[in-house]
Structure 1
Amino acid sequence: MAVDMDDFWVFGYGSLMWNPGFAFENKMTARAFGYRRALCVRSWVHRGTQERPGLVLGLDYGGSCHGMAFKVAQKNKTDVIDYLRERELVTHVYKERTMPVKLADGRRVPALTYVIDRNHVQYAGTLSAEEAAATVAVSHGKSGANTEYLMNTLAHLQDMGIRDHWLEEVAASVKRMQAQA
C-alpha cells in the first residue's frame, strides 16, 4: 500500500492508545524507532503530588516502542492537534514531534507524537525497574493510585498484544513490595 502524503497520523504509546479522545478513520499497531516507553515523567497531579510525585509514561530516547497509530481525516486535523496540545502540553513536559513510524502492514508514515523534554523539571531520568517501582508503589494523585495507572496500562497493552518487558518488570517489583508491606 502506498502512503498518501496528505494522510495525518498520530502515534500513541500510553493512555492515548486506548483512550485517544478524538475521531479517527483507522488505527493499527505501529513501532517508533529511537524512542522507548518509560515511566520517566514525574506526575504532580494525576498520580502523585509535588511532595510525593508519581510516575507516568513518556517517550524517551533509546530503543523502540510499539504503540498505536491513528489515521485522522484531513477535515479533523486541526481539531485533533488542538485537542492533543491541550491534553499533552499542560506543563510542557512533552515536546510535539512528527516522526516516522512503521505500521503493522509494513508502511512507514510520519506521525505526530509527544516525546519527553529531558530538560524539564518533571523529567525523572532513566530509572531502574526497582527505582520506578519504589515510587509507583507509594504515590497517589487526584486520578488515583500510581499502581492502578501502571496495572491498567499493562492490562491494556496486553489486550492489544503489545509486550513491554520493562513495565512488566516494574509491575512485578511493585507486587513484591506490596506483598512485603
Structure 2
Amino acid sequence: MDPSSDLWIFGYGSLMWQPGFAFDELRPARLIGCHRSMCIYSHHWRGTPEKPGLVLGLDTGGSCRGVAFRVAADRAGETLAYLHERELRNHVYREVTRPIRFCDGTGTRALAYVADRTHRQYAGALGPEERLALISQGQGAGGPNRDYVLNTVHHLRQLGVKDTELEWMASRLEALAAA
C-alpha cells in the first residue's frame, strides 16, 4: 500500500454496521469476483467450538454489494492494525486487494477479507438447513448468531440490497422466534 494514498476497505457483513474504525467517506459499492456467504464457522464471536455459529465470508465467484470506507492515508496504519486484529485473528480470512465499483460507474481498489477455503473453519459445503441450525444455536462473545444475521439483513435493506440467502435465513429465524 502506498503510504501517501487513502485506504479503501470493502464491508459486506458486520463491517457495514460496526466498522470499529474512523473513516472519511462511506459509499455503496460492488466487489467483483466474490459473493457474500454464510461460510465460516464461528467459534468465538457467534458460537463456541462445542456449539459453533456461522458468520459471513466472501467466497469465490459472482459479486457482492456492500459498502466501501475511505480512510485517510494518515490513519491507514492504525486502521490496518485494528483490522488485522479483528479479521485475521484465526486466519480464516485472507486479506486481499480487489477492484470495486461505485454506483456512479467509477471504481478503485479496496481491501477485502475473503474466506480461506482451506481453513478448518470454512463451512462452504453446508446446505441451507444445516446453516440455519448452526445460526439458531450459535451464541458467542458477540451475542446470538441470530442477531448477527438479522442486523446484516437490516443494513443490506437500508442499502437497497436483497441478499436471497440472508433474507431466507432472516425469515426462518423470525418464524422460529415467534413459534
| Structure 2 residue aligned with 1:35 | 34
- Residue identity in the other structure for 2:89: V
Residues 87-117 of structure 1: CA deviation (Å, up to 9, x unaligned): 1111111000000000122112000110011
In the alignment, is the contact (CA less than 8 A) between 1:129 and 1:169 conserved in 2?
no
- Residue identity in the other structure for 1:80: T
Q: Does structure 1 residue 55 correspond to structure 2 residue 58?
A: no
- Structure 2 SS opposite 1:172: helix
Instruction: Determine the C-alpha separation between the residues in 2 that align with 1:66 and 1:76.
Output: 25
Q: CA deviation at 1:176?
A: 4.1
| Structure 1 residue aligned with 2:65 | 66
Range moving further from structure 2, 143-152 or 95-104: 143-152
Instruction: Note closer, same or farther for the CA distance 1:57–1:8 as it changes in structure 2 (3 Å cut).
Output: same
Instruction: Determine the C-alpha separation between the residues in 1 that align with 2:12 and 2:47.
Output: 21
Aligned length: 176
- Structure 1 SS opposite 2:67: strand
Q: CA deviation at 1:177?
A: 4.2
| Structure 1 residue aligned with 2:116 | 117
Q: CA deviation at 1:135?
A: 1.3
TM-score norm. by structure 1 comes to 0.90
Instruction: Determine the C-alpha separation between the residues in 2 that align with 1:25 and 1:178.
Output: 38
Q: CA deviation at 1:31?
A: 0.3
- Residue identity in the other structure for 1:159: Q
Q: Does structure 1 residue 143 correspond to structure 2 residue 137?
A: no
- Structure 1 SS opposite 2:156: helix
Instruction: Determine the C-alpha separation between the residues in 1 that align with 2:122 and 2:25.
Output: 32
Instruction: Determine the C-alpha separation between the residues in 2 that align with 1:65 and 1:23.
Output: 23
Instruction: Determine the C-alpha separation between the residues in 1 that align with 2:83 and 2:119.
Output: 19
- Residue identity in the other structure for 1:8: L
- Structure 2 SS opposite 1:75: helix
In the alignment, is the contact (CA less than 8 A) between 1:137 and 1:178 conserved in 2?
no
Q: CA deviation at 1:179?
A: 5.1
Show structure 2 runs of 5+ residues with no match.
none
| Structure 2 residue aligned with 1:10 | 9
| Structure 2 residue aligned with 1:84 | 83
Instruction: Determine the C-alpha separation between the residues in 2 that align with 1:158 and 1:121.
Output: 31
Show structure 1 runs of 5+ residues with no match.
none
Range moving further from structure 2, 171-180 or 88-97: 171-180
Instruction: Determine the C-alpha separation between the residues in 2 that align with 1:89 and 1:172.
Output: 31
Q: Does structure 1 residue 152 correspond to structure 2 residue 151?
A: yes
- Once the two structures are superposed, the pairs formed by residues 160-179 of structure 1 within 5 Å of their partners are 160-178=159-177
Instruction: Determine the C-alpha separation between the residues in 1 that align with 2:61 and 2:72.
Output: 31
| Structure 2 residue aligned with 1:46 | 45
- Structure 1 SS opposite 2:137: coil
Q: Does structure 1 residue 23 correspond to structure 2 residue 19?
A: no
In the alignment, is the contact (CA less than 8 A) between 1:129 and 1:167 conserved in 2?
no
Q: CA deviation at 1:78?
A: 1.3
